[in-house]
Amino acid sequence: MASMPVRPDRPPPPCPSWVFSDKSDTHVAKDRWGRAEVIGMGTVDLATMSPRTQTDPGSPSTLRLKNVLHAPAALCNIIGKPVTEDYTVIRGTTDSDHPGFIVKNTNGNIVAYFKPKDQGPDLYQVQLGEPPLGHEFGISPLCPNGNYLIHAFFSQRERHRFVILKFSGLIRASGVEPFTPTEKKWFGKNRMSEKAIRVAYGLDPNRKEHQEECRAIMRILKCQAENEPILLPY
């Protein structure tokens, strides 16, 4: 069963692991980073740091990711292939002193470096400068000696549905209907309340779209806790 937050009145610490995966056709954020434009999708500005200045909080760079899916059930954050629309990803070889970096196409500036491979699993993880909203980072879900296949896919059917809803002005998360008596009983038994989730994820109780997102998140967490297949509501 998924563990509940010890302090439900505080936002959960954001996952610090942002992994580049050129096999992924979308970006994924485990937490609510940056400015959410619509339910389930938004723009993320990652504060990054180069190896030479990573201890200097006054020298951050910014890596902007567009159309990032918000998926609380994801293992970690994922930077997909769409990043190459605005940036060039340079990956170092296994015998190189530097694991690689990301360059902005418009001016050639390096905006992010990847972590040295000896600091974690054999993945291309972006070195971050600071967490969003001034919070401390959480613990990375990735084991240093673990083997991972990190992929994320946004199906053509869902993309098409999203485009139609976007232009019709009817974008909303699916699975946001009021809870059934059975669901209410389960949430009560597991001490999960809408109020606690709204506070944890920074949702406004007076906004209908935030109420809907809250219910969608709770249903994802319920599925995860029950070891059921995860159906993302986006």
Cα 126 to its chain centre, rounded Å, is 13
What does the pLDDT look like over 173-193, one tens digit per residue?
Answer: 444 678 889 999 999 998 889
Mean pLDDT of the chain: 77
At residue 210, φ and ψ (nearest 5 deg) are -75, -35
Answer whether 28's CB lies under 8 Å from 151's CB: no
Q: State residue 2's pLDDT score.
A: 38
Distance CA 82, CA 61 (A): 19
Tell me the C-alpha to C-alpha distance, in Å, between residue 175 and each of 12, 169, 214: 23, 18, 10
Q: State residue 60's pLDDT score.
A: 67
The segments of the chain whose pLDDT lies below 50 read: 1-9, 36-39, 53-55, 57-58, 169-175, 228-234
What does the pLDDT look like over 150-173, one tens digit per residue?
Answer: 888 887 766 666 665 555 544 444
Q: State residue 177's pLDDT score.
A: 78
Place of tokens 């563990």: 3
Which residues are registered as beta bridge partners of 77? Answer: 18
Residue type, 15: C
